[in-house]
Amino acid sequence: MRLNSRKEYANEAISQFIDVENREVSVAALNDPDLYELELERIFAKAWLMIGHETEIPNVGDYVVRLMGEDQVIVARAADGQVHVSLNVCPHRAMHVCLSDSGNARVHKCIYHGWAFRPDGSFIGAPIEREQMHGNIKTKEQLGLKKARVQLYGGLVFATWNHDGPSLDEWFGDMKFYYDMLFCRTDNGLEVLGPPQRLTIDANWKTAGEQSACDGFHTLTLHGSVIDIGAMGGEADTEHESAPAMYGINLSGNGHSLRCIAADTSWALAHGKGDLTPEERLEAFPLRA
């Protein structure tokens, strides 16, 4: 696909893959390579992306390496105590600066030519300082790693390459009410207790997104075996007996979507009983000190 035809392709893709009248999306939209490249450019390069939690990097120098689309970034706690997100690509010869998934480093040094950077992405220097290996056309301030725009929300780290775009609150829109219920409901917030589980799935990102966001109906069949053995099911003789996770309300707005499931249903799924009092719930799942 030629770059000068992206706009034409985008218009064609909408008419080709999306049937607005019947509210249907073609399966081809899930694996079309040209559409995927367009999504990397127009979605992942511009949207606010959740890439971690601040409790993963509590100390100065702590870092984790994550993905924004297909771009590796370093999420690090700098000397100023702030969280910074920098592209994990040396501006000299495009090598990865950080080669580990996580750790603590006050300096990130490229293994190719030794260019060094602080956790906030700023350039420190390069070997052979006197000979100006880094050149004299740009100042040191101009030689840092490419920086993303960062905002914390409920301890979650969001980043975007769109420095002139909407704020995170504007991007959330009306859906922020529901996110507040999930991530901002306690005084001390949430805490990450371990490294992330990583799965490699040979599928387009929209497949997982659609399953997680608004498809509760597959639980009855796809997860039927889990229900049969009693590992996911509610109380007998109730509306939640067979597949409690199937019941809920699909919510969407401003490009976001999620399923809102009644508290009793969620407790029936997790504990086998839905009508527990608040005291009984605290006893069953005590808060961590």
Q: Give per-10-residue mean pLDDT for the chain (289 aa).
A: 60 78 87 87 94 96 96 97 97 94 96 94 84 72 94 96 96 93 85 85 82 78 76 55 65 84 72 71 70
Strand residue runs (E) in the chain = 18-19, 24-25, 49-53, 62-68, 71-77, 83-87, 102-104, 108-109, 116-117, 123-125, 149-153, 156-160, 249-253, 256-260
| Class (C level, CATH) for 51-152 | mainly beta
Task: Give, rounded to a whole angstrom, the gap between the first and last alpha carbons of the chain.
Answer: 55
Distances (CA, A) of 227 to 62, 107, 232, 266: 41, 50, 5, 14
What pLDDT is stored for residue 6 in this prediction? 66
What pLDDT is stored for residue 32 in this prediction? 86
What pLDDT is stored for residue 3 in this prediction? 45
**Distance, CA of 213 to CA of 250 (rounded, Å):** 8
Helix (H, G, I), strand (E, B) or coil at 147: strand
Backbone angles phi, psi at 214, to 5 degrees: -140, 10
**Distance, CA of 27 to CA of 36 (rounded, Å):** 13
**Distance, CA of 96 to CA of 182 (rounded, Å):** 35
Closest by CA position to 79, among listed 26, 119, 124: 119
What pLDDT is stored for residue 272 in this prediction? 62
Structure tokens at 245: 């996770």
The CB density around residue 192, as the number of other CB atoms within 10 Å, is: 15
What pLDDT is stored for residue 60 in this prediction? 97
**What does the domain layout of the chain look like in residue ranges?**
3-44, 51-152, 205-284
Helix (H, G, I), strand (E, B) or coil at 118: coil
Q: Report whether 145 contacts 65 (CB < 8 A).
A: no
What pLDDT is stored for residue 165 in this prediction? 94
Backbone angles phi, psi at 158, to 5 degrees: -110, 145
DSSP conformation class of 245:
G
Q: What pTM does this model have? A: 0.85
What pLDDT is stored for residue 137 in this prediction? 78
**Distance, CA of 176 to CA of 253 (rounded, Å):** 10
Q: Report whether 160 contacts 51 (CB < 8 A).
A: no
